[in-house]
Structure 1
Amino acid sequence: MSDLAATDRTLVAEPLDAAAFAPFGDVIEAAGESYPINGGMCDRFHDRARMDFTEGGRAGISVGYGRPYPLPLTFDLVERHPLGSQAFVPIGEDPFLVVVAPDEGGRPGRPRAFLTRPGQGVNYLRNVWHGVLTPLGRPGHFLIVDRVGGTGVNLEEYRYDTGWTVVPA
């Protein structure tokens, strides 16, 4: 499609759900199977994300401070990382907006928007188009786990010719 000749450029933010999000990555949350650690004082929800790095990169853990965005939100910028997956886990309970898009011949297709619940983070699979870190309402701190080091360029940005608007459900 030529920059998605769709007439409707409004996306309704869906609740973030593991099954709906699976084509784009993983929902990181304390849900499902767990096992006790630390003398039974902690439940470990093990291996929540499919981290994947190429070209000699390794996993790095960073901290991000995101400035808040309002809804409705109009955006035109998405990005992807061809050499490594990227996870965002909030350090707090506030929701954030997750925008993803399928790849259509090397360009992003029609995006989808998801709204997290408290305690949810996401892992974008390698080469998945996604929006920028988008806390809502107030600033947010996030753990960022992604590829550091190695060779090659691990960022590709794309701007839609016409913006998309995300509204709450």
Structure 2
Amino acid sequence: MQIHPEPLTPEAFAPFGDVLAATGPHRLINDGLCQRHHDLARLDFGEDSSPPGRAGISVFKAAPRALPYEFDLIERHPDGSQAFIPMSDQPFLVIVATGPDMTPRAFLTNGAQGVNLHRGTWHGVLTPLGAPGLFAVVDRIGESRNLEEYRYPHPWLVVEAGLAPAARGI
């Protein structure tokens, strides 16, 4: 089964999480030399979970992948959100799934975008498309496992870095 990645936009990604990018409204700070793009994500660290969690920042170093990209594993974090902020300017794939049949969608970042996945959102593993694949990750730190995995019975294939047919008007 094949899917085509679509461009990562705030509107298309809204059901799954938040797009983190230095675009749109901002305010100038630091004597007018810095743009602050304020409060871009709804962070959730499971304060209402038992046991409660707290915010943590980690650094992930992931091996680069290439298209076509085959996958059969997705995961979710039921106790908190998870944000991926690239520390390089390389694009990466963001794979998410929803619905009773867990149909995946693939989004392609532009290399300057990060994402915050809402609590409980099914998503693929970290998939940088170029080296170095270095990310700051903001997520829940706590005593619970906060990880569920799902394997598709048959793998999916992300086949091209262009627009999905629907986005091209086909």
Alpha-carbon distance, 1:166 to partner: 0.3
Letter in 1 for 2:137: I
The 1-side partners of 2:122 and 2:15 are apart by 11
Q: Which residue among 69, 83, 88 is the counterpart of 1:73?
A: 69
Letter in 2 for 1:64: F
Query: How many correspondences in the alignment?
Result: 157
| C-alpha RMSD of the superposition | 1.1
Alpha-carbon distance, 1:137 to partner: 2.9
Alpha-carbon distance, 1:153 to partner: 2.5
Structure 1: runs of 5 or more not aligned: 1-8
Alpha-carbon distance, 1:41 to partner: 1.2
The 1-side partners of 2:62 and 2:132 are apart by 6
SS in 1 for 2:106: strand
Q: Are 1:82 and 2:75 an aligned pair?
A: no
SS in 1 for 2:15: coil
Letter in 2 for 1:144: V
Q: Which residue among 115, 129, 133 is the counterpart of 1:122?
A: 115
- Which residue of 1 is the match for residue 3 of structure 2? 11
Letter in 2 for 1:136: L
Q: Which residue among 11, 27, 36 is the counterpart of 1:35?
A: 27
The 2-side partners of 1:103 and 1:88 are apart by 23
Identity %: 57
Alpha-carbon distance, 1:146 to partner: 0.2
Q: Which residue among 83, 89, 93 is the counterpart of 2:89?
A: 93
Runs of 4+ in 1 over 2 A off after TM superposition: none
Letter in 1 for 2:136: L
- Which residue of 2 is the match for residue 60 of structure 1? 56
Letter in 2 for 1:156: E
Deviates further, 78-87 or 51-60: 51-60
